[in-house]
């Protein structure tokens, strides 16, 4: 949101605040690369820290937003370290170190259950490559003791409607979270079908921007990375 500007009425020497119109943007950023990402592990709810590359990806996302003069009135992250630190690096790059993101477990990454901590070779050897790919990409299939994308949608959408969307209606909002939980949120925002969401990928450090209309519908969308 642009800051308020100063203006004065014609013929009047009194200067008063002249507020810019409220903008309603939702900016989604996937966290930077984590140690588990670099190692090719199914991460899920494992609290894997950022790599140095991951820190640079988050800082780069912040610089890209700063170049476009973004200022956020609210910010949200998951409760996992890689998202929290990425959010902090982005806000520091924007010159907003005083904005403390709210943390919600509903924004945590999809739970990969028994796949968590395994690499693809070990998972393929145990369950078969075709089954692993189905669990990874499909909407309704869940790995053993884990969540499907449908389960992830079911916990993220209420959080969005109760907390994030109302914040967006009052100004520009930053959300820093994870690949699958953001896939779930994008599915809801863009009304994607289960078949369409299977092909949706969000790279680490990537940015998606939505402008909301006064009736909360999506007015415009931009993708950066």
Catalytic residue among 31, 57, 147, 178: 31
Dihedral (Cα; 69, 76, 206, 190), 10-degree rounding: -100
Distances 49 to 81, 82, 84, 174, 177 between C-alpha atoms, Å: 6, 5, 10, 20, 13
| Contacting residues for 205 by C-beta, under 8 A, at least 6 apart | 29, 30, 31, 32, 33, 54, 57, 58, 60, 61, 86, 225
Residue 34 per-residue DSSP state: B
Backbone CA torsion sign across 162, 190, 218, 73: positive
Q: Is 31 a catalytic site residue? A: yes
SS3 175: strand
What's the token pair of residue 201?
Answer: 């990928």
Closest C-alpha among 90, 34, 80, 28 to residue 58: 90
Of 25, 57, 109, 178, catalytic: 109
| Chain mean position to CA 47 | 17
Q: Which residues are catalytic?
A: 31, 109
């Amino acid at each position: 949101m642009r800051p308020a500007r100063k203006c004065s009425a014609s013929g009047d020497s009194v200067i008063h605040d002249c507020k810019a119109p409220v903008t309603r943007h939702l900016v989604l950023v996937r966290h930077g690369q984590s140690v588990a990402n670099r190692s090719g592990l199914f991460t899920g709810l494992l609290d894997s820290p950022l790599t140095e590359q991951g820190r640079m990806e988050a800082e780069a996302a912040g610089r890209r937003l700063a170049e476009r003069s973004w200022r956020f009135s609210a910010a949200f992250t998951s409760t996992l370290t890689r998202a929290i630190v990425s959010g902090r690096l982005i806000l520091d790059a924007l010159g907003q170190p005083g904005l403390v993101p709210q943390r919600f477990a509903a924004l945590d990454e999809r739970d990969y259950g028994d796949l968590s901590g395994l690499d693809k070779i070990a998972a393929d050897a145990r369950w078969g490559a075709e089954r692993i790919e189905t669990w990874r990409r499909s909407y309704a299939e869940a790995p053993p003791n884990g969540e499907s994308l449908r389960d992830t949608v079911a916990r993220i959408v209420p959080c969005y409607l109760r907390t994030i969307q109302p914040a967006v209606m009052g100004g520009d909002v930053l959300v820093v979270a994870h690949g699958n939980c953001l896939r779930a949120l994008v599915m809801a925002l863009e009304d994607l079908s289960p078949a369409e969401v299977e092909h949706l990928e969000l790279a680490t450090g990537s940015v998606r921007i939505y402008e909301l209309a006064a009736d909360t519908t999506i007015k415009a969308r931009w993708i950066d990375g």
